[in-house]
Amino acid sequence: MEADYIMLEQFNHGWSYQQINDFREMWKAGISVENISKVFKRKPQEVILLVYDQAEKRKVSPRSTGLEGL
């Protein structure tokens, strides 16, 4: 089946391995998505997509504070 629509193409989906490792450390430390996005100079939505990706792969765990962090 050919796709007529590609969702979320306005976002940058590419991440370096170093960025992913740094993200995991920041997530584990409780840093908010908003602040993580500032560190990477990325849109918060792109960080949320990475949270989803890494949670699906069981590389990060849910936090009691959720996306907001500490």
DSSP class of 4? S
Give the pLDDT mean for 24-43. 97
Is residue 50 situated within a structural domain? yes
Across the chain, mean pLDDT equals 96
Output the pLDDT for position 38.
98
Output the pLDDT for position 69.
81
Is residue 8 situated within a structural domain? no
Domain limits for position 30: 17-68
* CB 15, CB 23: distance < 8 Å: yes
Is residue 9 situated within a structural domain? no
Looking at the predicted structure, is the pLDDT value of residue 70 above 80? no
Number of domains in the chain: 1
